[in-house]
Structure 1
Amino acid sequence: MAPSISHLFFNNDTLISGHATTQEAINLKFAIDLYSAASGQCINFEKSGILFSSNTNPSTQSSISRIWQMPEVNSHRMYLGLPSVIEANKKQIFSAILDKCWAKFHGWKEKNLSQAGRIIIIQSVIQSIPAFAMHCFKLPYATIDKIQSLTATFLWSGDPEKCSIKLEELGKTLH
């Protein structure tokens, strides 16, 4: 019987999830090996790892790791700049998006941009910063509100320093 798996493909990266059973690991490994032999595309085991649910039996974890000849990872690593697993504090996880927006606004404040120039920058740069994360996750409303506040202040004043949310305060509220 074929394993029930799910996958995500991004350029040369693949994230595969499935049930943590020895038989499914053997079946999936066989299918991947067959694909590798036919296509010439192989998994780089040095850059790969297995992340198990906390509910998975430790002996099953070690069996699957041996089958795949891949190390078990205990941390929630980043995948394409986003966390592969999200735990409780989403505000803290997505604070990097706010930091990137703030850095862009802060870098532009010295330039004397017209309002039309600020609109173009907001549309072409700032709106693209959270876009990828928003395709994968639902951002916290607080994060979206802070991005909107920074954007509105920059649009109307050109100076993010005039925003009611300063970088220092932003760091304190997020961390």
Structure 2
Amino acid sequence: MLHQAVHEKRLRGVSICRRGPKISHLFFADDSIIFGRATESEGLEMLRILKVYEYSSGQQLNKQKTSLFFSRNTRGEIQNKIKIMLGAQVIKQHETYLGLPSFIGRSKTNSFAQLKTKVAHKLSGWKEKLLSAAGKEVLIKVVA
């Protein structure tokens, strides 16, 4: 349904550069990220698609876990309309998703410093000294 909505230009998705490909959604194991323009018509289309999904699958969208992100140049009144329409909260600057920062600015070092410190702390324990190189690799992957 998302592909069809993009194909019929009811949803436009986003691109990371001027002539780059458009991304309308990403699906993970039990999470979804849907990209679109901050317009009332695209908000209504997303809501329609989610309602059809809920009806056909028997699953419901958890509005307490649903978050919205708007670009800096989205007017406040449009943000409020879409927020009310979808019944979701707006993501704060310093929130995390799956342990990673929701926003990554120009400085990747600052964005991932906390994660790097956390991994280094876990690896500095006594168990790390007793592991082979392969064991250390597995430990790093598990911790990260």
Pairwise TM-score range, normalised by the shorter structure: 0.7 to 0.9
Number of residue pairs the alignment of both structures matches: 126
Asked if 1:33 is matched to 2:33, the reply is no
Runs of 4+ in 1 over 3 A off after TM superposition: 127-130
Runs of at least 5 residues in structure 1 that lack an aligned partner in the other structure: 131-175
Distance verdict in 2 for CA 1:92–1:62, change over 3 Å: same
Distance verdict in 2 for CA 1:100–1:20, change over 3 Å: same
Contact 2:11–2:45 at 8 Å: present in 1 too?
yes
In structure 1, which of residues 108, 122, 128 is the aligned counterpart of residue 136 of structure 2? Answer: 122
In structure 2, which of residues 81, 84, 89 is the aligned counterpart of residue 71 of structure 1? Answer: 89
Contact 1:97–1:129 at 8 Å: present in 2 too?
no
Which residue is 1:92 aligned to?
A: 110
Give the secondary-structure state (helix, strand or coil) at the position aligned to 1:8: strand
CA positional deviation for 1:83: 1.6
Distance verdict in 2 for CA 1:110–1:89, change over 3 Å: closer
Contact 1:7–1:14 at 8 Å: present in 2 too?
yes
Runs of at least 5 residues in structure 2 that lack an aligned partner in the other structure: 1-8, 14-23
Distance 1:28 1:83 in 2: 25
Distance 1:105 1:34 in 2: 46
Asked if 1:2 is matched to 2:10, the reply is yes
TM-score, length-scaled by structure 1:
0.62
Which residue is 1:107 aligned to?
A: 125
Q: Which has the higher helix share?
A: 1
Q: Which amino acid aligns with 1:120?
A: A
Map 1:44-55; keep pairs closer than 5 Å.
44-55=62-73
Higher mean C-alpha deviation, range 38-47 or range 67-76: 67-76
In structure 2, which of residues 93, 99, 103 is the aligned counterpart of residue 81 of structure 1? Answer: 99
CA positional deviation for 1:126: 2.0
TM-score, length-scaled by structure 2:
0.74
Highest Rg: 1 or 2? 1
CA positional deviation for 1:29: 0.6
Aligned CA RMSD, in angstroms, stands at: 2.2
Give the secondary-structure state (helix, strand or coil) at the position aligned to 1:87: coil
Give the secondary-structure state (helix, strand or coil) at the position aligned to 2:52: helix
Q: Which amino acid aligns with 1:32?
A: L
